[in-house]
Structure 1
Amino acid sequence: MFFTEASKTWCVDTTMITSTLRKSRKGLVMLWRTSAGVRHLIIISAVFGGVMAALPYIQITATQRLVDVLVAGSANGLSPGHWMVPLWLLLFTFAAMQLMGSLEPWLDVSMRERQKGEMSTALWQKVSRMPLSAFEDSQKLDMMYRALAATDGVYLIWSSLLKNLLGNIGGNLLILVMLWNASPLVAVILLLATLPTGWTTLHVTRRLGEAAYGYTRLERKRLYWMGLGFDAYAGAELRLYRLGKHVEMRWAALSAERLREQARCEKNVIQYLILPTMLFLSLPYIAALTLLTVSAVQHRISIGTLVALAVAIGQYRTSVSALIWHFVSLGEQITNLSSYSDLLNHEEEKQQNGTSKLTFHKELRFDNVCFRYPRSDTYALRDINLVFRPGERVALIGENGSGKTTLIKLVAGLYQPTEGRITVDGQDISRLPADAWRSKVAVVFQDFVRYALTLRQNILLSDNEAASKQTLLQKVLQQTGLDELAKMLPGGMDTVLGREFDGGRDLSMGEWQRVALARALCRPEADILILDEPTSWQDAFEEFEVYRYFQQWAYPNKTIILISHRIAPAALADRIIVLHQGAIVEQGSHRELLARNGMYAQLYAEHERRCRTG
């Protein structure tokens, strides 16, 4: 709901103003530090606002002078020297305002694109350094969505605060000075009428910003359902199961809910802003104009002054109304900016400084490690005590949800333990720079990424010294069978993979999986190679080749960890670790575990039975 009962009480709450101004100030400071180009545009905006503040005052003053000269001259005669100066001044202000109006869209576009590019770069750099667990926290994802929206809309804060505030507030102050000189009472009436309007505006702006938090998750859900319609891989099931109508209905329902929330906001804006504004501005405007008319009738002010001040009061009222809507439009943007600032201040993974390298010569040890995902009360892993040694071939087996993938992400340093610690040669990896340990690990994930890049770039994606790895690349291509695939591609190794862009050639899932495997093998500095279901998309012959390499790969000091639902590949490992409901229930060699007649022996017996019965 947009307005709670508490929000309907119009008590004096200074935090309302300070919170809004503080968040706006963050935007000003942040954008000022973005780049020299943006700073130049900010200065131009400030000058633009100052000029826009002065022009109405000059226009009104010239109008007053011209009317007075014409009225006086109607009785005494006119000479060009009397009326030409105010006329040319008036024409100058018209031309200047026309020019400023033409420059304003260019200024807005220039500032928006520069600021968007700089802020998007900073945002990307930040999220790449955040812990992976942040991307599995729905509240953190909401914050990221708002921060991303801020990159496209924060320029409005600058535009409104600089051009509109300087222009409108500065112009209004000059108008009030002019009114004070003619009639202090009129100036006081208009000023006092503005104060409650400004207070109401700040209140509504803050409430609109708070409502933006509620919209975030709704918008993310809408984008999710919309995205399914544009996803080539989801498209197959949508058509096969005739889900298109269902997805459309879900999206339409969320869109209708969003419109209802927006209508509720608009209703409250009308109730708490538009109607009070009409009351606070219209009646004082009528009263001020009446007082000035009476003064003109009593010859206390000239006809020119009456005309100029009538125009000034109308300008003042229009300017205040414009300021109100500028502030209201900033409500959501200020909220997004606050999320952007919070995101930039979010905890980061420890980054590596210098070129110091971590060694893995003795062991990787898990000591009483427990882990649970963000905002979950259930442990995914419990009391894990485990040691991996250089050169070992280790197999992890267990049913779905037993914690195998979570365990390897802890091995890779992508997660940190909730309890306990993980050490490499005695060093706690949670206290090490993230990249220092991850550079020692290569992983083939079950849900590997298919990059819309060339075959060569897909394999050497993260390698900054690709030119020096050609010998290794050729060896890996032969090991994974991609050398034959490269010969069949129209551009060889430089063929773009996937159909997202022109000229791309898609691969089968088995071929994509081999590309992911080759990517992992092209990291010779990695001491640990993790294979998460590396043959899930392979046919029987390809599966045999992968596991033959698993047993015979000439990496004597490289630890290889295999995750598989199949029992047969696990028998090739030096050690087998059996996981059940997040805990290790047994570990040992194939023969040792068969002799214990535990869970592994039961799984193996079932495997043998199915092989005999076909």
Structure 2
Amino acid sequence: MKSLRHLKIKLKGGLSQLPYLLRSLMLVWAAAKKWTIVWAILLVVQGLLPVVTVYLTQQLIDNLVPALGAGANWEKVRSSLMLVALIGSIILLSQILGSLLNWVRTVQSELVRDYISNLIHEKSIAIDYAFYEIPEYYDRLHRARQDAYFRPVTLLENGGNLLQNSITLMAMAVVLTRFGIWLPLALLISTLPAFYVVVRYSNENYQWWLRTTADERRSWYYYWLLTEMQYAAELRLFGLGEHFKSAYRILRRKLRSERVQLARNESLANLGASAIALVLTAVALAWMVWQAILGRVTLGDLALFYQAFDRGQNVMRSLLGNLGQIYSNMLFLGNLFEFLELPPQTIDSPSARMTPTSLKRGICFDRVTFRYPGSQKAALQNFNLAIPAGKIVAIVGANGAGKSTLLKLLCRLYDPQEGNIKWDDVDLREFPIQHLRRLITVLFQQPVGYNASVAENIGFGDVTASASLSEIIDAARGAGAEEVIDRLPKGYHTLLGKLFESGTELSGGEWQRIALARAFLRQAPLIILDEPTSAMDSWAEADWMERFRQLALFRTAIIITHRFTIARRADIIHVMADGQIVESGSHDELLVLGKLYAQSWQAQINVNS
């Protein structure tokens, strides 16, 4: 009774997953319509062929018995040979259709994989930036990404096998009914234990998989640390290789032990289910042999029964196994659809207005309060700041003062919880997000180095404009990257990075100049640079600042920096501390005030001297 209640609970849980089955089939249909139709036709034919073979085998045996008693009778032999030829043709046709079906499944698999990859990529691009700072998001992404590529195809294959086996089973049941109405029922009962095992352990495996997602991700993290170039030097210098290798091994041992225990329990349960099925098969076969001894059935009937019952039992076990696998795949696919349904919070306003092409008056932070997701502390509290158009504005302050938060809010990677940010007196949320971002060019504190050519790395700054080589060269010259590029083996056509063959690695400062050129390529009215010279020496820094002033002419620029040698060349300097502007003015004005800026300036001068 306990087992039956357990099965009932599992089946009830499975019904809640049915919407995922329909969505999965719709997903496969959207990815490969024509191939799915061909696949369905082949399955129906494949489902009927075993029944035809069983029927022809019975006819052959019943033809052979009198032929053996009558000697070499050509008429009897010819009839038997024709049946043999038909059976051979059916078997050959089944092999041909099987090969064709495998090819069709491969095509479907590739089409579905690419289709799902596209869905995941679209969601990853559209999802809020905030999700990337939440561990739960990475758990969801890991679960969706890990199984998304093969689960829908596996579900389709299971569904196809279910259809094929159902057709075969119904035909076999019709064959068995002529020998006794109870035989199809015995066939069903003999396979129920196997079905119970599949459903129970599908659910247990899924629950284990959910429970260990974080551990699985951590094991991948250790694997990544041990195999990626960016960590190789530090692992060797500090002798961390053995530490992370041991951590990986311990975690994998734990996961492996739990997985092996689950597999052991499932194997024992399958063994018990097979024993029950064998006993019922023996009873049914013994009854049929007794009927043959009594002369109630022929030898052909006995052969027909054995093949029908044996195949029917195998088909029934496969069919129930298909149901269990479908249930399991629906559980896993729930993670994919949950990921695809993650709702973005930073979205376009329903009444979005036309985006301007320039910045005429300036940008204003008006009583802005912002907290990062999951944090109780406000990064900005009732924050106010005015950035006049056409000026170079430096924002300085200690780490954690809130400088980079301004960048993220201006780019609408986040929206503030209170207050607003205005572009020429219009709230940023009134503009379509993508149009707003076209008005801004940014160099982030950790610039990205793409494993692509120099020209492509710079051209990524404005992919919609398809910049010419001369425009790319101008951007590189403005960023002070020209000398770096001239030293490369193929100039602007040099492949950067070491991920692919013949790639050339750059230093941190060189990568930063390439990223600066990428930022400069976009002719946006607002330039935001986050620590733009952090990897440059003082001589290169002074040269770059002079270039930048010319480049930023007639545009608005915000430089976020902790280097006062850069800040001093700005038109206006704002000093941040604890999420607030505490001082504002030119370099000379702030020195006269003698407060935080002046103290920090003197400290930097003393260190540099």
SS of the residue 2:394 aligns to: strand
> Matched residues in 1 for 2:544 and 2:130: separation?
31
1:63 maps onto 2:63 in alignment: no
Q: 1:102 to 1:608 in 2, by over 3 A?
A: closer
How much has 1:433 moved relative to structure 2?
2.1
Higher mean C-alpha displacement, 230-239 vs 216-225: 216-225
> Matched residues in 2 for 1:463 and 1:444: separation?
13
> Matched residues in 1 for 2:466 and 2:284: separation?
79
Give 1:322's aligned residue: 318
| Matched ranges for 1:101-180 at <5 A | 101-149=98-146, 150-162=148-160, 164-180=161-177
TM-score, normalising length from structure 1?
0.90
1:344 maps onto 2:340 in alignment: yes
SS of the residue 1:310 aligns to: helix
Among 197, 202, 222, the residue aligned to 1:205: 202
Give 1:16's aligned residue: 13
- 1:274-313: per-residue Cα shift (whole Å, max 9, x none)? 1452255233222222222222222222221111111222
SS of the residue 1:357 aligns to: coil
Give 2:438's aligned residue: 439
| Matched ranges for 1:45-84 at <5 A | 45-76=39-70, 78=73, 79-84=76-81
Give 1:531's aligned residue: 529
What is the identity, as a one-letter code, of the residue corresponding to 2:455? Answer: R
Higher mean C-alpha displacement, 509-518 vs 82-91: 82-91
Contact 1:497–1:507 (Cα < 8 Å) also in 2: yes
SS of the residue 2:576 aligns to: strand
Contact 2:479–2:513 (Cα < 8 Å) also in 1: yes
How much has 1:252 moved relative to structure 2?
1.5
Among 271, 283, 286, the residue aligned to 1:287: 283
| Matched ranges for 1:82-101 at <5 A | 82-101=79-98
Q: 1:210 to 1:39 in 2, by over 3 A?
A: farther
Contact 2:197–2:270 (Cα < 8 Å) also in 1: no
- 1:96-139: per-residue Cα shift (whole Å, max 9, x none)? 23223433443332222222122212322231122211222222
> Matched residues in 2 for 1:105 and 1:467: separation?
43
> Matched residues in 1 for 2:386 and 2:329: separation?
51
Q: 1:557 to 1:347 in 2, by over 3 A?
A: farther
Q: 1:381 to 1:328 in 2, by over 3 A?
A: farther
What is the identity, as a one-letter code, of the residue corresponding to 2:225? Answer: L
1:560 maps onto 2:557 in alignment: yes
Q: 1:364 to 1:331 in 2, by over 3 A?
A: farther
How many percent of aligned residue pairs carry the same amino acid? 28
Give 1:548's aligned residue: 546
Q: 1:175 to 1:118 in 2, by over 3 A?
A: same
> Matched residues in 1 for 2:388 and 2:33: separation?
55
Contact 2:349–2:429 (Cα < 8 Å) also in 1: no
What is the identity, as a one-letter code, of the residue corresponding to 1:66? Answer: L
> Matched residues in 1 for 2:606 and 2:272: separation?
81
| Matched ranges for 1:599-610 at <5 A | 599-610=596-607
How much has 1:88 moved relative to structure 2?
2.3
| Matched ranges for 1:190-339 at <5 A | 190-195=187-192, 197-270=194-267, 273-275=269-271, 277-327=273-323, 333-339=329-335
Contact 2:497–2:505 (Cα < 8 Å) also in 1: yes
> Matched residues in 2 for 1:418 and 1:591: separation?
36
> Matched residues in 1 for 2:606 and 2:41: separation?
84
Contact 2:480–2:544 (Cα < 8 Å) also in 1: no
> Matched residues in 2 for 1:96 and 1:211: separation?
43
Q: 1:504 to 1:609 in 2, by over 3 A?
A: closer
Contact 1:20–1:206 (Cα < 8 Å) also in 2: no
Q: 1:472 to 1:307 in 2, by over 3 A?
A: closer
How much has 1:14 moved relative to structure 2?
4.9
SS of the residue 2:489 aligns to: coil
Q: 1:286 to 1:464 in 2, by over 3 A?
A: same
How much has 1:160 moved relative to structure 2?
1.5
Contact 1:370–1:382 (Cα < 8 Å) also in 2: yes
Contact 2:452–2:496 (Cα < 8 Å) also in 1: yes
1:357 maps onto 2:355 in alignment: yes
> Matched residues in 2 for 1:426 and 1:297: separation?
99
SS of the residue 1:456 aligns to: helix
Contact 1:441–1:529 (Cα < 8 Å) also in 2: yes
> Matched residues in 1 for 2:96 and 2:212: separation?
39
How much has 1:330 moved relative to structure 2?
5.2
Give 2:428's aligned residue: 429
SS of the residue 2:364 aligns to: strand
Q: 1:75 to 1:166 in 2, by over 3 A?
A: same
SS of the residue 1:287 aligns to: helix
TM-score, normalising length from structure 2?
0.90
| Matched ranges for 1:572-583 at <5 A | 572-583=569-580
> Matched residues in 2 for 1:577 and 1:535: separation?
18
1:449 maps onto 2:443 in alignment: no
Higher mean C-alpha displacement, 419-428 vs 109-118: 419-428
> Matched residues in 1 for 2:428 and 2:531: separation?
26
| Matched ranges for 1:457-476 at <5 A | 457-464=456-463, 469-470=468-469, 472-476=471-475
Contact 1:186–1:291 (Cα < 8 Å) also in 2: no
| Matched ranges for 1:381-396 at <5 A | 381-396=380-395
- 1:63-88: per-residue Cα shift (whole Å, max 9, x none)? 11111222233345551343234322
How much has 1:342 moved relative to structure 2?
2.4
Contact 1:209–1:333 (Cα < 8 Å) also in 2: no
Q: 1:376 to 1:285 in 2, by over 3 A?
A: farther
> Matched residues in 1 for 2:207 and 2:324: separation?
12
| Matched ranges for 1:464-543 at <5 A | 464=463, 469-470=468-469, 472-524=471-523, 526-543=524-541
Higher mean C-alpha displacement, 51-60 vs 347-356: 347-356
1:186 maps onto 2:183 in alignment: yes
> Matched residues in 1 for 2:39 and 2:322: separation?
16
Contact 1:197–1:280 (Cα < 8 Å) also in 2: no
| Structure 2 unmatched ranges of 5 or more | none
| Matched ranges for 1:360-371 at <5 A | 360-371=359-370
Contact 2:14–2:327 (Cα < 8 Å) also in 1: no
What is the identity, as a one-letter code, of the residue corresponding to 2:142? Answer: Y
How much has 1:337 moved relative to structure 2?
2.3
> Matched residues in 1 for 2:451 and 2:10: separation?
53
Q: How many residue pairs were aligned?
A: 601
Give 2:34's aligned residue: 40
Contact 1:130–1:347 (Cα < 8 Å) also in 2: yes
Contact 2:461–2:519 (Cα < 8 Å) also in 1: no
Alignment root-mean-square deviation, CA: 2.9
What is the identity, as a one-letter code, of the residue corresponding to 2:35? Answer: L
Give 1:402's aligned residue: 401
What is the identity, as a one-letter code, of the residue corresponding to 1:41? Answer: W
What is the identity, as a one-letter code, of the residue corresponding to 1:278? Answer: S
Contact 1:208–1:331 (Cα < 8 Å) also in 2: no
